[in-house]
Each structure stands twice: as C-alpha cells, then as structure tokens.
A and B are shown apart, each in its own frame.
Chain A
Amino acid sequence: MKYILKRIVFFLITLWAAVTINFILPRMMPGNPAEVMIAKFQGRLNPQAISALEIAFGINTHESMLAQYWDYLGRMVTGNFGISVSFYPTTVAQVLAQAVPWTLGLAGISTVIAFILGTLLGIRVSWKRNSISSSFAVPIAFFLNSMPYFWFALIVEYVFAFVFGWFPLGGAYSSSSGLSGLALVWSVLYHAILPAATIIITAMGGWMLTMRNNMISVLSDDYITFAFAQGLPEREIEMNYAARNAILPSFTGFAMAIGFVISGVLLTEIVFSYPGVGYLLYQAVLNIDYPLMQAIFLFITIAVLVANFIADIVYVFLDPRARSGGE
C-alpha cells in the first residue's frame, strides 16, 4: 500500500502546483493583464465585485505577496473561485457546475470506449502482424494520431451534420421545449453521437499504436515461447500471456495520453458548441474572464489527476509486482 500512499502524496503536490500556477500567472505577466479585464467590465460590475477581483489578482493592494498567497490558498480550499465576469453576477463555481456533467459524460464515456477499442485493435494488429488488414491499420492509425482533433471534428460536422444532415450541428440536446423522459434522453444521446465519435476515432489511434508496440516487445519474451511449448491455445496466449503483460505500460504512460485526450475533448466541444467545460473555456477566453479560466484549468487538472489515480489503482491490480512494494 506504500505505492498508493506515494500516489496520494503526488496527487496533492500536483494539485498544489496547479493552484500556485494560477496564483503566479496574473502576477508575473507584465502590466497585470487582470487590470485590463477589470477595466473592460468596469461599468457592468458593482464596486464590491471589483474589489473582490482586485484582491484575487493582487491589484491595488499593500499586502505582501506571501499574505496574498496565504489568502488565496484559503479561498481555493473553501472552493471560493470568485465571480464570473462574463456571466455576472453568477459565481464561477455555479457556472462551472453547469458545464461539468456534460464534459464528464462525453469525455468519460468516449475515453473509455477509445481505450478499449484501441487496445483491442493493437492486440489484434500485432498478433496478426503480417495480415493485410494489419498493414492497412497501422498507417491509418498514424494518420489519425497526427490529425488536429478540432479539424477532424470540423470535417465530421461538415459531412454528417451539414451535408447529409443526419445529426445536429451542435449543442447537447434539442432546444425545442417540453422534452422530457425518454425523448430527452434520446435527444441527449443523439447530440452526443458525433462529438463522441470524433473523440473515439482520434484517441483510438494513439492507444492502438502504443498497444501494438508493447505487444511486439512482449511477444519476444521467453514466457510467450514457453506458453507455445506448453501447447496452450493461441487465444489463451494472445490474451492472458501477451496482452495481459503488454497492457501494463499503457497504464504507466496514461498520464501523457490522457493529456492528449483532454485536449481533444476541449477542442471537439468547441467545434460542436457542446456546453461542456471546453466550450466554456473558449467563451472565457473570448470574454477575457480570468476567474472562470483559472477555475476551469484547476478543474481539468483535478479531473486528469483523478483519472491517473484510477489508472494507478488498476495498475496495482494488474501487476502483482507493484503490489508487493517497489515500482
């Protein structure tokens, strides 16, 4: 369990680092960009809100940096992210809470599907390494993996929503009022299909290539030949001897891969105007809404950390060597 403890400590350190980045960035930039934002929204905000923003970004204050930092950490711990200037007077926490479920649903489900599909494909492609379908699958995966996600989303939207009209152009559910029950569920699913497909297809290529390389590496290990010598069925060797070992590096390399997937999700949401965190971040950027941006950054970091933490725990279950101490 030492392993898990180590991960928890790392989790906290990273969280602290993200919070600190949020604190330092506006104070480090020349001419404090937050002032620009406050000036821009001057007429629309009440004086109280303005002074709250000034405190948050360290403007017109005589407090020392350290004292500011201490106050800041206190606000973060209590979940006080301030007021969103573009959705004034709603608080950042409330605005974010609206968007989070959409992203979690879309990103969570499509990431899991992409991981499973990509990994299975990687297993197949490396096992049947010299088949025709394998020699096609690898270059296609290369292309999918080097594609800008948002561009692929644009093309998918254009072809399937605009030209063929099979799917809605954007949004998360039909705007016609009065939808409820099953009709609403269907509407939500229907709107999610294209963005989800975009994420799955683009993310799948990366998992597939990773798994393929891991598999090829593992296939020359002695325990594979030994399994063949024992006359085990191919299926058994493929899954329980080769794939079972080859999947382990996919979990240790999860941190970087999930970062790419998150980027893809954000951009996909923006293209499809899907009301999740990514789209919200885009709006925050357009409206120079710094408090909202910072909160979103923090939220995404936490989401990635949690995903990594889950991957770490799954890893411990999959690799007996990690369980009995050491890494």
Chain B
Amino acid sequence: MNYVKLFFRNKKSAIGVIIFLFFVVLAIFAPWIAPYSPNSMAFTPLQGPSWKHWLGTTAVGQDILSQVIWGTRLSLIVGLITGGIATVVSVIIGLSSGYLGGLTDDILMTITNIFLVIPGLPLIIIISAFIVVKGIWTIIFVISLTGWAWGARTLRSQVLTLKNRDYVKASVVTGESSAHVIFSDIFPNMLSLVVANFFGAAVYAVLSEAGLEFLGLGDSSAISWGTILYWAQNNQALLFGLWEWAAVPGLLIALLGMSFALMNFAVDELTNPRLRKR
C-alpha cells in the first residue's frame, strides 16, 4: 500500500516510529543494556547520581537506571496488549453496531456511550481496589474494559459511511453473506482508522497504567515505570533532592505516550486529506 510509504515519510510518524523503536530495543535487550539486576539491593540506599549509578539508588539500595531499563518491558507490553484488546473490542462492537443497525445498534451504542461518559480512572481505581490478587493481567483487563468506547463510536460512524458506498451496496444486492460484506468490503476500507484507534488506545493504556501503579493499585513488586514512580513518591524522593528518580521514568512514559500519539495523528493526517499539510 501507498499509505505505508507515506506513513514513514510523514514527519510526525517518523519521529513516533523512531521513539517507539528505541523503546523496543531497550525492552528486548534490557538484560544486556542494564548495568545491574533491577532487583539487586546490594548498593547504598538513597544515593544521588554517580558514575556507578547514573540515576542513583532507591530506598532499599536498587540501581534506578537498571530498573528504568527493565521497566520499559512492562510499560510497553501493557501499552501494546491493552491497545490491542481495546481495539479488537471496539472493532467488534463498532462493526456489528454499524452494520446490523436497528435495535442491536441502539443497545450497543447506549452501552458504548455509558462507558464513554463514566469517568475512566475512577472506575479503574474502584475495580482494582476490589480485586484482591493483583498482577499485570488484572491491569490489562481493567484498562481494556474502560478504553474501547471511543474507538467503537468512531468505527461505527465509519461503517455507516461505508455501508452507503456503491460497491458495498452492490455486494449486498448480489446476495453476498454479511460476513463477506463485512470482512472483504467494509473492514479493509477502515483499516487505517483501526490502526489510528490502536495507537490512541495504547496512549490511554500507558498513561492509565502509570497512574494506577503510582497510586499503589497495581502490582508494586513488579518493575515498571509506574511502580518506580510509586516508590519514589512513597520515599519522598523529591524532598530528598533525588529528582532523577521521579523525573526520568515520568519522562519516558511521556515519550512513549507521545510516540503512540504521533503515529495516531499521522495515520489520521494521511487518511483525512483535509488535514494533510499543503
């Protein structure tokens, strides 16, 4: 497809892809890149940055740089998987709602609008508070549950537009099955929107995960950027003047979020000719 080429030529997506690839490399090669084990508590606690520990050490004597590098894995995985699940849900709901119409549409859209309006973070917080066993999958589940609604709504309106195109009408008239119409005539034409939605949902996931971990509602023994921030805050890192402890993981969250957001916008720009830079 021509769009793939344009995607890499677009300045926004190019920057987004570069940042994203940087994190992928960091995540995959964490064991080789990180100077120490992220769990080792062998160092003097609460040290500022030094040549030995570029970002200093935690309250229990862990190397923060190593934790930040390893933390990339969890943040990236949560972002991608949650983005993926939320996108699948929005595609299913959006497609069936838009294609089937009628009562199904009314019911699904009411549910979607309810999920859209009920504030995400507070819902995530109370659900997590009720879940006793915490782990990465609970986080993924809870964030996916609250992150699909916007996508479902935009995809539905796209289906409605596509449904009225001549070639889709032609397929329906010639008696193609619903499945055929949906998967060969409609879905391929909304692929870019689905991709944009995936990036949007991934931003939401990365930020929500960080917020959840920061509040201590995640698995605080796991190593992610959110939990590093949680421990930094709990040990009053900033008041001890250990600002790198909190600044760096937050900055990385922002960068990862931004890379998804840039790719999202780029896809939008490429497929919506009005937004294209003249």
Q: Does residue A13 face the partner (Cβ distance < 8 Å to B)?
A: yes
A 130-156 to B, binary, CB cutoff 8 A, 1 in contact else 0: 000000000000110111111110110
Please state if A10 and B210 are interface contacts (CB–CB under 8 Å).
no
Interchain CA distance A33-B132 in the complex, whole Å: 7
Nearest Cβ distance between residue B149 and chain A, in whole angstroms? 8
Nearest Cβ distance between residue A108 and chain B, in whole angstroms? 15
**Residues on B with beta carbons closer than 8 Å to the beta carbon of A270:** 215
**Residues on A with beta carbons closer than 8 Å to the beta carbon of B41:** none
Q: Does residue B42 face the partner (Cβ distance < 8 Å to A)?
A: no
Please state if A151 and B114 are interface contacts (CB–CB under 8 Å).
no
Please state if A151 and B261 are interface contacts (CB–CB under 8 Å).
no
Interchain CA distance A29-B129 in the complex, whole Å: 11
A 291-317 to B, binary, CB cutoff 8 A, 1 in contact else 0: 001101100110011001000000000
**Residues on B with beta carbons closer than 8 Å to the beta carbon of A288:** 129
Please state if A297 and B274 are interface contacts (CB–CB under 8 Å).
no
Tell me the A21-53 residues at the B interface (CB within 8 Å). 21-22, 25-26, 29-31, 33, 36
**Residues on A with beta carbons closer than 8 Å to the beta carbon of B274:** 216-217, 220
Contact of B254 among A148, A256, A286, A297 (CB under 8 A): A148
Please state if A148 and B131 are interface contacts (CB–CB under 8 Å).
no
Q: Could you say which of B59-67, B115-123, B162-170 contacts chain A?
A: B115-123
Q: Does residue B247 face the partner (Cβ distance < 8 Å to A)?
A: yes
Q: Could you say which of A70-78, A93-101, A114-122, A259-267 contacts chain B?
A: A259-267
Please state if B250 and A151 are interface contacts (CB–CB under 8 Å).
yes
Tell me whether A145 and B261 are in contact in the complex, defined as CB-CB below 8 angstroms, given that A151-B229, A151-B254 are known contacts: yes
Contact of B253 among A29, A31, A148, A282 (CB under 8 A): A148
Please state if B238 and A162 are interface contacts (CB–CB under 8 Å).
yes
Please state if B132 and A31 are interface contacts (CB–CB under 8 Å).
yes
Please state if A285 and B215 are interface contacts (CB–CB under 8 Å).
yes
Nearest B residue (CB) for A262: B119
Please state if A255 and B126 are interface contacts (CB–CB under 8 Å).
no
Contact of A146 among B121, B243, B254, B275 (CB under 8 A): B254
Q: Does residue A228 face the partner (Cβ distance < 8 Å to B)?
A: no
Please state if A286 and B121 are interface contacts (CB–CB under 8 Å).
no
Tell me the B239-278 residues at the A interface (CB within 8 Å). 239, 243, 246-247, 249-251, 253-258, 260-262, 265, 268, 272, 274-275
**Residues on A with beta carbons closer than 8 Å to the beta carbon of B217:** 285
Contact of B258 among A22, A143, A155, A271 (CB under 8 A): A143
Please state if A148 and B250 are interface contacts (CB–CB under 8 Å).
yes
Interchain CA distance A157-B236 in the complex, whole Å: 12
Most chain A C-beta atoms within 10 Å of own C-beta, residue among B114, B243, B275: B114
**Residues on B with beta carbons closer than 8 Å to the beta carbon of A256:** 116, 149-150
Please state if B246 and A151 are interface contacts (CB–CB under 8 Å).
yes
Contact of B233 among A29, A143, A154, A213 (CB under 8 A): A154
**Residues on A with beta carbons closer than 8 Å to the beta carbon of B251:** 151
Nearest B residue (CB) for A26: B130
Please state if A146 and B261 are interface contacts (CB–CB under 8 Å).
yes
Q: Does residue A14 face the partner (Cβ distance < 8 Å to B)?
A: yes
- Give 13 A-B pairs besides A10-B110, A148-B211, A304-B119 with Cβ atoms closer than 8 angstroms: A14-B113, A17-B118, A146-B203, A148-B207, A150-B211, A151-B254, A152-B250, A154-B233, A154-B250, A155-B250, A255-B116, A297-B126, A304-B117
**20 chain-A/chain-B pairs, Cβ below 8 angstroms:** A13-B110, A25-B126, A33-B129, A143-B254, A146-B257, A147-B253, A148-B211, A148-B214, A155-B250, A162-B239, A217-B272, A217-B274, A256-B149, A259-B120, A262-B119, A285-B215, A285-B217, A288-B129, A293-B126, A304-B118
> Taking beta carbons and an 8 Å cutoff, which residues of A are in contact with B?
10, 13-14, 17-18, 21-22, 25-26, 29-31, 33, 36, 142-143, 145-152, 154-155, 157-158, 162, 209, 213, 216-217, 220, 255-256, 258-260, 262-263, 266-267, 270-271, 281-282, 285-286, 288, 290, 293-294, 296-297, 300-301, 304-305, 308
A-B CB proximity, top 5 nearest = A151-B250, A146-B257, A263-B121, A146-B258, A147-B254
